[in-house]
């Protein structure tokens, strides 16, 4: 799913962009960065209510290409600058996390456990 589709679905405000519209392959929703480290795959979008620098460092470590802050949260300047440096797209949506994840899933974006046809069920 292209970033511009995600922006439209979530009515998101974009804080940082990339030159090329990324193709996001899967999604993850979490406020626990330890879960992100354990379960998220490269090429994902992370939906979270946390706006700290740690989110960007964690996203960069696992290869997350985009982060969407939910519940109307907005990042501080230093978080935006670090995301630019790490080439991570940042956006924000006023929808809660559950609804944000559900909207993306309903439009065909799979979760990390489903990507590649392998389910952890």
What b/e string do you get for 25-63 counting C-beta neighbours within 10 Å, with b at 16 or more? bbbbbbeebeebeebbbebbbbbbebbeeebbebbbebe
Instruction: Look at residue 118 and tell me if it is in a domain.
Output: no
Cβ proximity of 104 and 9 under 8 Å: yes
Cβ proximity of 76 and 54 under 8 Å: no
51-90, pLDDT tens digit by residue? Answer: 999 999 999 999 999 999 999 999 999 999 999 999 999 9
Instruction: Look at residue 121 and tell me if it is in a domain.
Output: no
Instruction: Look at residue 117 and tell me if it is in a domain.
Output: no
21-47, pLDDT tens digit by residue? Answer: 889 999 999 999 999 999 999 999 999
pLDDT value at position 18?
A: 78
Question: What CATH number is attached to the domain comprising 41?
Answer: 3.40.1390.20
Domain that holds residue 69: 3-112
Instruction: Look at residue 13 and tell me if it is in a domain.
Output: yes
Report the chain's mean pLDDT, rounded to a whole number: 92
For the chain, the domain total comes to 1
User: pTM (2 decimals)?
Assistant: 0.91
């Amino acid at each position: 799913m292209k970033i511009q589709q995600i922006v439209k679905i979530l009515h998101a405000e974009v804080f940082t962009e990339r030159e090329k519209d990324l193709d996001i392959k899967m999604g993850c929703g979490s406020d626990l960065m330890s879960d992100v480290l354990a379960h998220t795959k490269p090429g994902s979008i992370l939906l979270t209510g946390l706006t700290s620098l740690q989110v960007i460092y964690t996203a960069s470590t696992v290869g997350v290409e985009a982060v969407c802050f939910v519940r109307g949260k907005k990042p501080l300047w230093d978080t935006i600058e670090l995301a630019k440096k790490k080439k991570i797209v940042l956006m924000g949506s006023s929808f809660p996390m559950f609804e944000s994840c559900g909207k993306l899933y309903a439009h065909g974006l799979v979760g990390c456990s489903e990507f590649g046809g392998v389910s952890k069920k």
